[in-house]
Structure 1
């Protein structure tokens, strides 16, 4: 009973950490998806310069650890210029995670766009539609249906990777758990913390599963 009372007492703090974890993930993935559309289109651009810049961006953020990117945004930028200092841990994490997510999602979006029958590009050209009209009205709406499964996977991965923000003292689930463990000298706090991660992951997995079942072409 004493153990149960301890766990119950820790729940409010862990839920506060969960709020930060979920909010960061939602914000970062949303911003990352928005950025990834431009990166994906840039990678398919006829301009070698634009294509090269987008390729370099994706290569860099996919090829370096997210933790190092987070450290650089929070600790490295101020050394380049004091004006680049970000004192807010949530904002620093949001920037790093959004940039990282944008790189990964751009590959997902590019693959989805390229999976659309090329005949639809030709048909839209015959109808006198511009490249941007074709993308906005024909290609992207169809691509969205193909994006649900891989974007769902990326979201879950980002949700779990959010635990890295504890290393810059942002009070997410992991940071709160470590603080409780340090102050109480009890590692039992990891039990409700892991269960909380499982519950959150399960809920979002269910959401994406329902979206996939309703809209995805992979039925």
Structure 2
């Protein structure tokens, strides 16, 4: 117990960075995912082609590779113009990656809305954006919420990949303590903290699902 109390502050410090990356990735990728999802359902073919390529690229390559490319590869382009700090590079890569996944989820939700909903909105003289905001989005949220929840759970675990560019997240803090003290106790604590985080997220997501369950 004395050893656990000694290493706990460093683990909690790493957990703080993990939660920051998790939070800002959601803040950036969820609205962008909805916008890209709307673009994927548009009738403007050049835009759809560009967005389909973007989604294919992000979903078809590992997030770890994308992190390495953003931090180590972009500075090689344009003589260092695109150099990013470690934290900024991690957020940029995570937002790009998760925007693509959320976009596909939102696309499926948008395409599941009957065309009659849009026609009824035209009869009511609602604009396109009013239709999206007041009629379509509330229904899409209910449809896509379970899939969004799965990606949110994955995000809290994927955040451990930032160790590859030298950020001191929760997993890195555990690895440092394990290597220094030659014991698996830090990694066990890391696993417990991840389990607690996912348990809290699962509880919150279930609350959201129950909130929207009256729309059937």
TM-score, normalisation: structure 1: 0.93
Gaps of 5+ in 2: none
* 1:112-191 matched pairs, under 5 angstroms: 112-191=109-188
C-alpha distance in structure 2 between counterparts of 1:216 and 1:145, whole Å = 7
1:20-59 → structure 2 map (5 Å cutoff):
20-59=17-56
Give per-residue Cα distances to partners, 1:40-68, cap 9 Å, x unaligned.
Answer: 11111111101111111111101110001
**TM-score by structure 2 length?**
0.95
Say which SS state the counterpart of residue 83 (structure 1) adopts: coil
Tell me, in whole angstroms, the C-alpha distance in 1 between the residues paired with 2:14 and 2:215: 35
CA distance in 2, matches of 1:37, 1:188: 42
* Structure-2 separation of matches of 1:218 and 1:104: 25
Q: Deviations over 1:93-135 (max 9, x none)?
A: 1110000000000011111112222211111122222322211
SS state at 2:125 partner? coil
Superposition deviation, residue 217 in structure 1: 6.0
Structure 2: distance between partners of 1:210 and 1:218: 15
Output the aligned Cα RMSD: 1.5
Matches within 5 A, 1:70-149: 70-81=67-78, 82-87=80-85, 89-149=86-146
Structure 1 gaps, min length 5? none
- Give the Cα separation in 2 of the matches to 1:9 and 1:94: 30
Q: 1:171 to 1:45 in 2, by over 3 A?
A: same
Q: Which moved more, 1:141-150 or 1:172-181?
A: 141-150
Taking the aligned partners of 2:64 and 2:184, their CA distance within structure 1 comes to 25
Aligned residues: 215
User: In structure 2, what is the equivalent of residue 67 of structure 1?
Assistant: 64
CA contact (8 A) 1:146 1:216 kept: no
